[in-house]
């Protein structure tokens, strides 16, 4: 809006000039009110950068400027003429007078002559051109527009961030639900055992997992964190469930899990135990930290990984190890978050400290003692602790014999303490176990033999360990029946009684795991 100057008698009238100036100020104020009245509602409703560019063009129209453009984040929204594209962003509001920039050929969309108005905003700047000059009021209005744009675009970014955060929260909640479905915070104690679990993810959900499937208890660690790890964990748990229902578990594990993980670019460690009510366990360790067998007297045995993590290399075979848990014994499984925790000097908790803790803490208190020991350490990874404790109140016997054949009568005493006098396996078990002890002392040079045994129905579950030279009697040559020769006949008795017989070399000693049962009577030969 423009107001003509008022004059009187051909000479300037100071009062008239003042009145003209006031009218111009009122006119400018009116222009600003119209400008703001039209643009503020649109600015508040901005939903995109394209709408911001349209708003800039509308503002240019209100101040009678033919063309305008908006640059945000280094990009011109809706394009700009060639002569403007490489113009650096202004640090402050700037008016380039007519002739200050060459806007003619070869550039497209040129007005000659033209002034250029450049107004900075937070993430770019506004440019207007196409007329000879910009008044101070027009510049002020466009500066106001730039501030409106800043506020509107910041509000838009805030809305987008809130929406993104809401989506992330929804995804995290869904991922956490998926992960917790396959990594529950509690597991059911199998009959005859006490199962204690501590599951502590490094974030809302982690790569560690644990679950039960039929008579299996499984713990593991999937590479990665967050939603991808949760998805792979769910896939892994489903594949394992299918695998354990297969008649050939070994092949099913390899076929069901390796290919999935390899295609996902991930890998997984696994420690799984098949639990029988009588204390007989079958344990598999694939790339996982050592599983610990903690005997009732505090001694430890390790079940180390027999294969690399699933998904790293094709597996030809997965070995299962048989171990008996006698009354008071426990199986300890854990993730690397335990022994990789660091103190304030960066020293890890370590496997040696873990083993010492496992040996001294009561099995039922292991999880609580481990958490107490970690109070001065920083745990940066997922932490899983699982203890499977065999009922210490169940009847069982432990005897530690010296490496002296004069102690052989204690074998019979231990068996008679574990078995009723009329138990069918008592006599053959005494013959078989005596043979194994004699072999360990006389031929293996053992200085100590440990017997752990308990009865289950018609079976006797026996674990015999010694510190003698390596010797696997399960591979020894068998002699013909009836030849009362050293080794042969005694081993024949063991084979006749043993429904299971497994050997392992553990921590510089020999461990034999046997399930003994009275042999079936030999039928008489057919008559003539």
pLDDT digits over 176-202, tens only?
A: 776 777 778 899 999 999 999 999 887
**Rounded Cα distance, 127 and 11, in Å:** 42
CATH numeric code, 14-158: 3.30.450.40
DSSP 378: B
Q: Cis ω on the peptide bond leading into residue 106 (within 30° of 0)?
A: yes
**Rounded Cα distance, 285 and 289, in Å:** 8
339: Cα within 13 Å, side-chain hemisphere: 16
CATH topology of domain 183-390: Phosphatase 2c; domain 1 (3.60.40)
Nearest partner of 506 among 476, 470, 461, 462, judged by Cα: 470
Decide if 394 contacts 223 (C-beta within 8 A): no
> CATH assignment of 397-516, given 2.40.128.20, 3.30.565.10, 3.90.190.20, 3.40.33.10?
3.30.565.10
- pLDDT band at residue 485, thresholds of 50, 70 and 90? very low
Cα-Cα-Cα-Cα dihedral sign, residues 372, 373, 374, 375: positive
Decide if 321 contacts 292 (C-beta within 8 A): no
Q: So where are the chain's domains?
A: 14-158, 183-390, 397-516
Among 59-63, 403-407, 458-462, 467-471, the range scoring the smallest mean pLDDT is: 59-63
Nearest partner of 370 among 354, 381, 382, 386, judged by Cα: 354
- pLDDT band at residue 141, thresholds of 50, 70 and 90? confident
**Residue bearing the bigger pLDDT, 13 or 92:** 92
Mean pLDDT estimate for the chain: 84
């Amino acid at each position: 809006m423009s107001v003509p100057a008022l004059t009187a008698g051909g000479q300037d009238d100071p009062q008239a000039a003042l009145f003209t100036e006031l009218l111009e100020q009122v006119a400018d104020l009116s222009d600003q009110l119209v400008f703001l009245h039209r643009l503020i509602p649109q600015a508040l409703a901005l939903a995109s950068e394209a709408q911001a560019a349209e708003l800039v063009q509308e503002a240019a129209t209100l101040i009678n400027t033919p063309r305008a453009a908006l640059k945000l984040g280094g990009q011109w929204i809706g394009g700009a003429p060639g002569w403007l594209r490489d113009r650096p962003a202004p640090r402050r509001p700037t008016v380039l007078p007519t002739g200050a920039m060459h806007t003619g050929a070869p550039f497209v969309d040129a007005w000659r002559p033209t002034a250029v108005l450049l107004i900075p905003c937070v993430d770019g700047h506004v440019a207007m051109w196409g007329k000879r000059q910009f008044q101070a009021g027009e510049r002020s209005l466009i500066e106001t527009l730039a501030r409106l744009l800043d506020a509107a675009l910041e509000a838009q970014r805030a809305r987008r961030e809130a929406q993104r955060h809401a989506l992330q929260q929804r995804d995290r909640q869904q991922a956490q639900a998926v992960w917790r479905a396959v990594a529950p915070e509690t597991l059911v104690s199998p009959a005859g055992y006490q199962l204690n679990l501590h599951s502590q993810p490094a974030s809302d959900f982690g790569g560690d997992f644990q679950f039960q499937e039929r008579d299996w208890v499984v713990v593991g660690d999937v590479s990665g964190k967050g939603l991808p790890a949760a998805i792979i964990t769910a896939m892994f748990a489903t594949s394992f469930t299918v695998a354990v229902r297969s008649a050939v578990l070994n092949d099913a594990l390899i076929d069901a899990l390796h290919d999935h993980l390899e295609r996902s670019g991930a890998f997984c460690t696994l420690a799984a135990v098949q639990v029988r009510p009588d204390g007989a366990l079958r344990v598999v360790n694939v790339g996982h930290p050592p599983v610990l067998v903690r005997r009732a007297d505090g001694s430890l045995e390790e079940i180390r990984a027999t294969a690399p993590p699933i998904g790293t290399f094709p597996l030809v075979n997965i070995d299962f190890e048989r171990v008996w848990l006698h009354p008071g014994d426990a199986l300890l499984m854990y993730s690397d978050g335990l022994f990789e925790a660091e103190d304030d000097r960066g020293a890890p908790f370590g496997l040696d400290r873990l083993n010492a803790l496992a040996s001294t803490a009561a099995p039922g208190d292991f999880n609580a003692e481990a958490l107490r020991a970690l109070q001065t350490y920083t745990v940066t990874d997922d932490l899983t602790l699982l203890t499977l404790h065999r009922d210490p109140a169940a009847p069982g016997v432990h005897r530690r014999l010296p490496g002296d054949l004069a102690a052989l009568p204690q074998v019979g005493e231990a068996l008679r303490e574990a078995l009723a006098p009329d138990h069918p396996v008592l006599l053959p078990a005494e013959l078989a176990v005596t043979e194994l002890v004699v072999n360990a002392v006389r031929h293996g040079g053992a200085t100590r033999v440990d017997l752990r045994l308990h009865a289950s129905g018609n079976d006797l579950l026996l674990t015999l360990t010694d510190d003698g030279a390596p010797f696997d009697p399960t591979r020894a040559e068998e002699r013909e029946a009836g030849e009362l020769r050293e080794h042969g006949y005694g081993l024949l008795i063991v084979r006749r009684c043993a429904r299971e017989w497994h050997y392992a070399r553990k921590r510089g000693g020999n461990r034999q795991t046997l399930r003994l049962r009275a042999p079936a009577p030999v039928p008489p030969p057919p008559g003539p």
